[in-house]
Amino acid sequence: MEQANPNINEFRPVIRQLDDAAINRIAAGEVVERPASAVKELIENAIDAGATRVAIEIADGGKTLIRVTDDGCGIATADLPLALSRHATSKIDGSDLLNIHTFGFRGEALPSLGAVGRLTITSRVPGADAAQIQVAGGTMSAVKPAALRAGTVVELRDLFFATPARLKFMRTDRAETQAIADTVKRLAMAEPSVTFTLRDVSGGGEGRVTFRADRENGDLFNALHARLARVIGREFAENALQIDATREGIRLYGYAALPTYSRGAAVAQYLFVNGRPVRDKMLTGALRAAYFDFLSRDRHPAAALFIDCDPTLVDVNVHPAKSEVRFRDPGVARGLIVSALRHALAEAGHRASSTVANATLGAMRPETPQPIPARVYQMDRPSSAARQMAYQAQAPGFAELTCDYSGSVVEPVAESVSEAPVEDLPLGAARGQVHENYIIAQTADGMVIVDQHAAHERLVYEKLKAQMAANGVAAQALLIPEIVELSEGDCARLMAVADDLSRFGLTLEPFGGGAVAVRETPAILGEVNARAMILEILDELSDQGESQMVQARIEAILSRVACHGSIRSGRRMRAEEMNALLREMEATPHSGQCNHGRPTYVELKLADIERLFGRS
């Protein structure tokens, strides 16, 4: 007996028009995913209103209370009911959905919040009295007078009380609070001229301030640098390179960290398009590509990059949360990021991050001495003039000791001192070699410790890359071309990047239908599995929109060649060799890190060294 389909009703389904409350609850599911989404929408409204101060208060991870106070232009009393209507907005007139200059433009945030929570808006425009309106679960109250000096206060209580099923999917209060803090910080980076305060008032009372960023003054880069130092951290600001480049109407600016200041996860990557924080796969892929040759696959760069362009060149109306964008010409934006960052990294030369020295000093901290019964008094450190007089007075006695009890660990060599003054040498002059692997050099205000193998490996690697760029990648023609069967879509995606692949010695041709013929492979790779390589390239294209797999394999071989061809650990070096290595490091871009992003040298300032010995 044939079983009836349970999805087919014996009655004909009836099409119904949903009421506004249901429509708003459905829209809220797209716009307001979690408390952090509500905070984002309310802060963006405050910034669009011209606010210079935005205060955010939350309780229980934003589940029970979100209050955003601003000093913006306010909402007129007559407009308050309209502000809670769907698709009612002051940002656009609806004639052009591409030429958008504000954060908000959909007119969905406030009605969505009022549909799933208890929303109260109190606002005042200059020259008028303040007014207040409330909406709970989609039910709106009448407008009534209120007390407020200026601006707007939006208070959202009991988020998702009207849709209790959504509350079951909320994370812990701590996780939601962290998500809100991340949202506030991203918007604070986008608006250095606005003061932001985030306060957690869980449990009642005034609560505690968890984040504060006062308004920054100065030009664009000074204000942005100061704001990034406050939000991301001072270490990032100290080790970040300024980026400023323009191409075909698109401007890229911001700061990107040195490769030696990398992270174990992509948690310090902040991207903005026309001031809007975005999470875009194409942009993050471009950032990864720019650092491709300087970091291992388990390390991630840190950067805060801003793209400004004509609003008609980018579509922000892709996702309800407006966190995704689509460029009219994504290749231009991607190429701009890669070229600008690589140019900045090349200009940084041999520079390494200051965190390397800080970590070294931390590892060199002397252990806490065991307590001793008697106190030891130490005389104050004498002045340099007093020390010089003491040395002269003691010279006859010490002259006899220096012959048999000299503190020198190596024979003094005349050529160990560079001809140029130490003050003119960024990496100083070599003074010795320890453990046949580390070069000790003296700088004008400290010392440098160089890993001779890692440093020379980077130098050789850069020479090999330069030779490959000048002469191209040699291709090995296959005696019998290998035919790889693909779907027509994969074939088209692969042939779209065929010219780029040919630059690295991989030559492809269409072979009818969805098949491609592999004619040549990079000679430096030797015998390769062409089909496996093609499938890996397609996986990268599907996931990231680009493929660097062939280039990665070639450069991995160059890196191994550089490793075997560089100065080995355990080799004694003469003074002139050590100094020549230092001078070449100063002249070679990217020499501050090895091929995997690890530092090739550590610089210690004299003041820090003296603190280790308690001399400061």
User: Under the phi-then-psi rule, with left for phi > 0, alpha for psi from -120 to 50, and beta for the rest, what region is 517?
Assistant: beta
| The pLDDT of residue 207 is above 60 | yes
The CA-based angle 304-309-310, given to 5 degrees, is: 155
Walk me through the domains of the chain, giving residue ranges and CATH numbers: 20-213 (3.30.565.10), 220-348 (3.30.230.10), 414-616 (3.30.1540.20)
Cβ–Cβ under 8 Å, residues 192 and 227: yes
| The pLDDT of residue 57 is above 90 | yes
What's 116-130 look like in SS3?
HCEEEEEEECCCCCC
Determine the Cα–Cα distance for residues 594 and 493; give it in Å rounded to an integer.
34
Give residue-wise pLDDT tens across range 471-503: 777 888 888 888 988 888 888 888 888 887 887
Residue type at 133?
Answer: I
Nearest to 593 by CA among 470, 427, 450: 450
Instruction: Determine the average pLDDT of the residues in 208-215.
Output: 95
Cβ–Cβ under 8 Å, residues 442 and 429: yes
**Residues sharing a CB contact under 8 Å with residue 257, sequence separation 6 or more, in sequence order:** 236, 239, 240, 241, 268, 301, 302, 303, 353
Rg (CA), the chain: 32
Return the pLDDT at 369.
52
Determine the Cα–Cα distance for residues 301 and 291; give it in Å rounded to an integer.
7
Average pLDDT of the chain to the nearest whole number: 80
Give residue-wise pLDDT tens across range 368-419: 555 544 444 444 444 545 445 444 444 444 344 334 333 334 444 444 444 5
